[in-house]
Amino acid sequence: MIKVAAFVPLKLNSRRLPNKNFLRLGNYPLAYHVFNTLLTVESVDSVFCYTSQPQVLSLLPSNVELLMRPRHLDGDGVKANELFLYAVENIDADIIVLCHATGPFIGADSINKGIQAVLSGKYDCAFAVQKHQTYSWFMDKPLNYDPTNMEQTQDLAPIFCETSGFYIFRKDNYLKSGSRIGATPFMVEVDVRESIDIDEPADFNLASHMFSYNPHVTSYSRDTFFVDLANQSSQHKNISHVSFDLDGVLIDSIELMDESWAYAMKIMDLRYPFSEYKKRIGMPFLEILKSMGVDKKYYAEIEELYNRYSAENIDKIKKFMSINDGLKRLKSVGIKISLVTSKNKDRTSEIMSRHFDKDIFEAIITPADIPSERGKPNPDPILLACVQLGVDPYNTLYVGDMEVDREASKRAGTHFVYANWGYGDLTKVKDVWFNCFDDLVEFIVS
């Protein structure tokens, strides 16, 4: 069985930031954090503190083991490979993980990803890197772009910089080469917080501020991030009309959609996956079938079965939180609201009567209402809502959760807001988005 062990070199004194390994970060010494993380990595069998001062173990998690470091290896003149070699020689393991106390935020998932890469046999080592995709120079020359023919930054070849967060390698390879980097390395990209390495006082100050920072949170309050649609230009000063998609924006119907689709497929003994249907939510039903490549001879029966199951189980549809109160608030400040959906007219009417106050929407557009019979992503249904309410598309905001919604809005000439609580994933293209309905309403009203 392959054995994996991790070690962290640790000493009391340091030159640039005295006693940095034991400065208070949160409720523990700086050094505590990386050991605590390593103990949570299931693929790591043993975690060693590599030190000549065993008393420091009292400040670390209880399961950390001691690897005594000879005093002569404490000197500032000792080279890194000399320091690491002693530890590697004296650790009984096939794969070794080297971490540093100065990287307190390195994540267990990142470490495990590196270990799995080495265990696979495809790579002989792994290490943490931070990706930089910007105009870069090295030795007074541009490194990844041509200044006379500049590309946009998202199209540049990225630069990957080692972070010192961790190095993972096979023991026998290190003993042969004396290097923690092998011939076939695997780079594990880490986020800005994980990449922090503390050498200077300024680094520790940054780490203290970043202690509670979560780089994966994408919800922003209105006072920290928003694109002010209402003031982009003189012609867009007033949003007087907000139009909403239905499924995924006002109601949560994905479970019933899945069940209705499965019911139709089972009855007809077909194998078209719901995952493909889900990608096309927002289009008229028959257009979804056409886009999926379903044989036209099945259209009518699939639609009948799907609609029957949906109608019989309509109680499974839930309304997202705060919808009615938010709609009332929009109307209270004089904003007209409409509904533009690809759901059929009968089911739309039943959902409206069950879940929404009467006359809350001043226009309701379903595929049956469109003379051209062109549903989303065509602009016709949104434009029809504007015509019925007598408002200019430039003063209209369309709220949707799928790419077809965004495309229809763009082609209609209206503004678009992405409902991040819905079913789509517009992370690469969204301009304005909100994670909850309350925030959206607050933005519009304010």
Which active-site residues does the annotation give? 245
Q: Are 385 and 338 in contact (CB under 8 A)?
A: yes
Separation between Cα atoms, residue 111 and residue 344, nearest integer Å = 50
**CB environment 53-65: b (16+ within 10 A), e (fewer):** eeebbebbbeebe
Task: Single out the residue of 117, 103, 106, 119 nearest to residue 185, CA to CA.
Answer: 117
Residue type, 420: N
Crossing angle between the packed helical segments 345-355 and 299-312, to the nearest 10 degrees: 10
Contacts (Cβ under 8 Å, ≥6 apart) of 411 = 377, 378, 379
Separation between Cα atoms, residue 204 and residue 21, nearest integer Å = 10
Query: Tokens 């069985």 sit at which residue?
Result: 1
Query: Tokens 């006359």 sit at which residue?
Result: 359
How many CA atoms does the CB half-sphere of 347 hold within 13 Å?
Answer: 25
As given in the structure block, the two tokens for residue 408 are 């229809």
In 21-134, beta strands by DSSP E: 24-25, 28-29, 46-51, 65-68, 95-99, 125-132
